[in-house]
Amino acid sequence: MRIKVKELSFSYTRNKDYPGFRKNIDNINIEFEQGMFYSILGPNGSGKTTFLDLLTGYLKPDSGGIFFDNQNISSFSKKEMAKKTALVSQDYYINFPYTVREVVSMGRHPYIGRFFSLDHQETSLVDSIARRTGISDLMDRKITCLSGGERQRSVFARALCQKTPVLLLDEAFSNMDINHTFHLLHEIKKEISDNNIMVISVSHDLNFASIWSDRILFLKNGKQAAFGTPDDVLEEEIIKKVYDIEARIEKNKFVNAKQVFFNLS
């Protein structure tokens, strides 16, 4: 799977004569390749979540397009898109008391239909991913009775059950403790290694992105500010340009990656 983003633009206020008009995504051109972990970074309002919503087909661009293996995603049905992209969002919420097993099993709906039961093979897949994500002991509990972190891990399991070539993460670790975050990141890296999937992750954590990413995309005011390896784009002048803040960047031997430090005085 390869994703090509060509001259992509989008605005929530489409009327250019509107006093508050601005492009939330402004003429983005970029390519994403399978087998890679991408991080999208930038200040609040820079267009990160909007960009993910365009990648899922939830939003339609004003101009330009997004192509999966040279096919415009506008031609895909919702079911076809669900077989290509899985999304883990920070604000996922269900107010109906499904069990965790039912929620995780929803990841198989694009393949078996919403009202069909899982066969033995499908059930084995759900149980295997539950073990990998550390939620086996939660499977019979109601999703509405879980903590934020437990619910988030359940949503991760559902996304992994979709078995899509593209996994999209929108601040997906915001409700999790550090131990579960590292565990799931290792599972994601395993999926990249074993199944050659592509991961595109929106985050605010520059130092995590430096450690885990193959490529980093910086957005500012809807525009592409920088794109490259962590070593290439984690530079003091780029951080200043994107965030308007002074930073010091050093290569940390313990994590073998660049880390960003800010002067708080």
User: Which amino acid makes up residue 16?
Assistant: K
Encode pLDDT of 102-153 as tens digits.
999 999 999 887 667 788 899 999 999 999 999 999 999 999 999 989 999 9
Decide: 223 and 29 in contact? Cβ < 8 Å: no
Q: Which residues contact 228 (CB under 8 A, 6 or more apart)?
A: 215, 216
User: 13 falls in which pLDDT band (50, 70, 90)?
Assistant: confident
The order of strands in the sheet holding 85-89 is 85-89, 166-170, 198-202, 37-41, 215-220, 223-228
Pairing assessment for the beta strands 2-10 and 25-33 based on DSSP bridges: antiparallel
- What number is the average pLDDT over the span 32-53? 96
H or E stretch at 20: none
Residue 251: the pLDDT is 95
Q: What are phi and psi of 222, to 5 degrees?
A: 80, 0
Six token digits for residue 253:
């031997």
Find tokens 């530079």 and name the residue: 235
Whole-model pTM: value is 0.93
Could you state, in order of their start, the residue ranges of all structural domains in the chain? 2-84+164-262, 98-163
- Alpha-helix residue ranges (DSSP H) falling in the chain: 48-56, 78-82, 100-105, 109-112, 120-132, 148-161, 178-195, 206-212, 230-233, 236-243
Decide: 9 and 184 in contact? Cβ < 8 Å: no
Cα→Cα distances 17→7, 11, 13, 21, 164, Å: 22, 13, 9, 7, 41
Residue 162: the pLDDT is 96
Residue 95: the pLDDT is 77
Decide: 77 and 238 in contact? Cβ < 8 Å: no
Look at residues 219, 228, 247 and name the one whose alpha carbon lies nearest to residue 41.
219
Q: Which residues contact 251 (CB under 8 A, 6 or more apart)?
A: 257, 258, 259
Encode pLDDT of 150-159 as tens digits.
999 999 999 9
Residue 263: the pLDDT is 79
Residue 1: the pLDDT is 86
Find tokens 């883990």 and name the residue: 88
SS3 state of residue 12: coil
CATH homologous superfamily of 2-84+164-262 equals P-loop containing nucleotide triphosphate hydrolases (3.40.50.300)
Average pLDDT, the chain: 93
> 10 Å Cβ neighbour count for 30?
15
- What number is the average pLDDT over the span 245-262? 95
Encode pLDDT of 213-247 as tens digits.
999 999 999 999 999 999 999 999 999 999 999 99
Residue 19: the pLDDT is 63
Six token digits for residue 262:
């800010």
DSSP of 78-91: HHHHHTTEEEEETT
Encode pLDDT of 161-201 as tens digits.
999 999 999 999 988 899 999 999 999 999 999 999 999 99
> Residue 265 pLDDT > 70, yes or no?
no
User: Which amino acid makes up residue 252?
Assistant: N
DSSP of 157-178: HHHHHT--SEEEEESTTTTS-H
